[in-house]
Amino acid sequence: MTEKEKCAKGLLYNPNYDQELTAERIAVKDLCLEYNQLKNSDAQGRMLLIKKIIGKTKENICIEPSFWCDYGYNIEVGENFYANHNLVILDCAKVIFGDNVFIGPNCSFYTANHPIDVKPRNEGLESAHPIKVGDNVWFGGNVTVLPGISIGNNSVIGAGSVVTKDIPDNVVAVGNPCKVVKSIINEN
């Protein structure tokens, strides 16, 4: 089994010396650098390049520079997606965002996980666990979402939160670790 196949199955794998994974990371980071250097006035160029970087997108998306990811092809964003400056997505596994997702500045989504045991960690082994974000979710600035997390529809994650456990639909959650502080009642 290749390192990429191990990664896709959520098994421990070594991305550091695998030629295929290394080449993919280098290629997408070159594209991210190019994207981050485009003028904001070049809206068409930015849209074409971000759609080349990200695996699957809908039409109405905006990601402010700077933006960095590991592979790009594992990222899916829905319609009406907006991310403010300094978005980092370590997409060793799938990272899926629903429609109407708004992300504040300096947010990070990490699918990579490293062993607690020092021996395999020092060997460079890691595993990857997907992140799924529902529709109509808002992230305040400086939020970090850890591997394997799901965030429900219509929820708000407060600024500075570190999301270590799944968040249900229709709640406001904040803190480190992030916890639900109230339910959202839709009055429409």
Catalytic residue among 29, 114, 129, 179: 114
Catalytic residue status for 129? no
Q: How far is CA 16 from CA 19, 29, 61, 148, in A?
A: 8, 15, 32, 22
Instruction: Quote the CA–CA distance of 182 and 185 in Å, as a whole number.
Output: 10
185/74 Cα distance (integer angstroms): 33
Helix residue ranges per DSSP H, 85-171: 118-122
The residues carrying an active-site annotation are: 114
